[in-house]
Amino acid sequence: MAPLMNLVRLRGFPILQQLHLEERMLRTSSANWCIINDGTTSPAIVMGLSGKVAELVEAKSVLRDHIPVIRRFTGGGTVIVDQGTIFVTLICNKDDVSDVQPFPRPIMSWSGQLYGEVFKGLADFHLRENDYVFGDRKFGGNAQSITKHRWVHHTSFLWDYEVKNMSYLKLPTKAPEYRLTRDHTDFVCRMKEYLPRSEFIERTIKAIEAQFSVKSINLESTDIPSSSEFVHTTRLLTEQELLDACTIQT
Amino acid sequence: MACRQFWASRAASYLRLSLFNRTFSSVVKDLKYCDSHEWVKVDGKSATVGITDHAQDHLGDVVYVELPEVGKSVTQGESFGAVESVKATSDINSPVSGKVVEVNEELNSSPGLVNSSPYKDGWIIKVEVSDSGELNNLMDSEQYSKFCEEEDSKH
């Protein structure tokens, strides 16, 4: 019998709250969860756990335009997310995906196969150096967090993006090899050029249903502890931290 | 590691032996191990903790180690820090209970020591052990090697 996967569908949910929810689900729940958030409220920059803001973000512009900068609990790189971003998160008990070793590369490979099913027949989809690409253009960025018995794999999909938002991000010092010397606009592509938003979400749910018994749950019905009862790793950077980054950058 | 695997597979092929998907990860004889792939070296009430060769090989290049504060309490089997590799943060769990008395600050500038020297220069924390009896819950090097082989053979 296929293991149960609780599906929580959100729209326009703030990304900081989503990441906090994911952390609590990973650490306090024993269920499998899929969160699909169809666009977040307003632009935010999200760095991985070890991200150094002075190296990754144009601090002066970010302060000037009041763009929140978040450090998340998972690894990986820096993204700018907004209403054009679709988030899909999978939080699994390792024993419910027992043919996948609970290490980064096997989990990444498993996710690549899952999304291979989503885009089958539609586009030249690949998992390439931990990114989801059509051809050689990135449209999805991944990150994970692995605990003793559970793991989370989450993806931010570029449904659409504003070119001007990319200017808040510096070119990372560590870039995948396939990027070559391409700047943002030549490196990424928009999912909307390939399939409708709703079709992507429905295809994703269908791919998950091939491996799990999916049950839709309202956010209010989840028995996850409230934010106030948990100490999160994910946090919003302070104005002082951004000012310090400005100082380093001048 | 890749070199050892290459010559082993060449030898196996020449001798027409089946080559299982073995890790060829190294273990150190006098250490104790837990099933989440951490090791501990105990010297009286003092313990040094790190992650195993099997773990570092499966994790990939470590780019960051989140170290606990000195003075923090640790509990056997529970997370005290994390490593980042290949876009993932992975918990490091303590094989012993006690208090952190030292952390390996070198890992702040050289996180790759966890990969290149997992049992020596890549040590992560030192702990003042509160319950030596808990060591009986851990595996010796032979048991741990077998455990890793079984884990890898399932996948």
| Interfacial residues of B (vs A; Cβ cutoff 8 Å) | 36, 58-60, 63-64, 66, 77, 79, 82, 84-91, 93, 151-152, 154-155
Say whether A157 sits in a helix, a strand or coil: strand
b/e for B40-65, b at 16 or more Cβ within 10 A? bbbeeeebbbbbbbbbbbbbbebbbb
- Optimal mutation site among B34, B56, B86, B107, interface A, most CBs of chain A within 10 A: B86
Binning pLDDT at 50, 70 and 90, where does residue B142 land?
Answer: very high
Spell out the residues 6+ positions from residue A211 whose beta carbon is closer than 8 angstroms to its own.
A2, A97, A114
Residue of B nearest to A145 (CA): B89
pLDDT by residue for chain A (250 residues), tens only, comes to: 899 999 999 999 999 999 999 999 999 999 999 999 999 989 999 999 999 999 999 999 999 999 999 999 999 999 999 999 999 999 999 999 999 999 999 999 999 999 999 999 988 999 999 999 999 999 999 999 999 999 999 999 999 999 899 899 998 878 888 988 888 888 999 999 999 999 999 999 999 999 999 999 998 888 888 877 889 999 999 999 999 999 999 8
Q: Do B86 and A145 touch (CB under 8 A)?
A: no
Q: Do B87 and A107 touch (CB under 8 A)?
A: no
Res B11: pLDDT = 54
Asked whether the beta carbons of A208 and A32 are under 8 A apart, the reply is no
Q: CA Rg, chain B, in Å?
A: 16
Q: Do B87 and A77 touch (CB under 8 A)?
A: yes
Residue B86 in tokens: 């290949």
Res A192: pLDDT = 95
Average pLDDT of chain B is 89
- Give per-residue pLDDT as tens, B4-18: 555 555 554 544 333
Say whether A27 sits in a helix, a strand or coil: helix
Res B23: pLDDT = 46
Min Cα separation B86/chain A (Å):
6
Of A75, A76, A101, the CB nearest to B155: A101
Chain A positions touching B52 (Cβ under 8 A) are none
Min Cα separation B129/chain A (Å):
22
Q: Do A50 and B84 touch (CB under 8 A)?
A: yes
Query: How far is Cα A200 from Cα A55, in angstroms, rounded to an integer?
Result: 34
Chain A positions touching B93 (Cβ under 8 A) are 148
Query: How far is Cα B139 from Cα B144, in angstroms, rounded to an integer?
Result: 6
Instruction: Judge whether residue B114 has pLDDT over 70.
Output: yes
Q: Do B79 and A148 touch (CB under 8 A)?
A: yes
Mean pLDDT of B53-73: 97
- A to B CB pairs, distance under 8 Å: 73
Res A184: pLDDT = 82
pTM of the model: 0.92
ipTM above 0.85, yes or no: yes
Of B79, B87, B154, the CB nearest to A144: B87
Query: How far is Cα A179 from Cα A136, in angstroms, rounded to an integer?
Result: 8
| Interfacial residues of A (vs B; Cβ cutoff 8 Å) | 48-50, 73-77, 98-101, 103-108, 130, 142-148, 174
Query: How far is Cα A82 from Cα A59, in angstroms, rounded to an integer?
Result: 18
In terms of Cα–Cα distance, which of A164, A17, A176 is closest to A80? A164
- Optimal mutation site among B21, B66, B87, interface A, most CBs of chain A within 10 A: B87
Q: Do A146 and B90 touch (CB under 8 A)?
A: yes
Mean pLDDT of B141-145: 95
Res B19: pLDDT = 36
C-alpha A14: how far from its chain's center? 13
HSE (side-chain half, CA atoms, 13 Å) at B153 = 9
Spell out the residues 6+ positions from residue B131 whose beta carbon is closer than 8 angstroms to its own.
B76, B96, B97, B98
b/e for A134-147, b at 16 or more Cβ within 10 A? bebbbbbbbbbbbb
Q: What is the largest CA-CA distance in chain B?
A: 55
Residue of A nearest to B66 (CA): A50
Binning pLDDT at 50, 70 and 90, where does residue B22 land?
Answer: very low
Residue with tokens 């027409």: B16
| Residue A171, H or E segment | none
Res B24: pLDDT = 65
Binning pLDDT at 50, 70 and 90, where does residue B1 land?
Answer: very low
Chain A positions touching B90 (Cβ under 8 A) are 103-104, 145-146
Q: Specify the DSSP class assigned to residue A227.
A: G
Mean pLDDT of B22-48: 90
Chain B positions touching A111 (Cβ under 8 A) are none
Say whether B57 sits in a helix, a strand or coil: helix
Res B15: pLDDT = 45
Angle at A59 between CA A55 and CA A65, to 5 degrees: 145
Q: Specify the DSSP class assigned to residue A2.
A: P
Chain B positions touching A105 (Cβ under 8 A) are 58, 60, 86
Q: Do B88 and A144 touch (CB under 8 A)?
A: yes
Res B12: pLDDT = 46
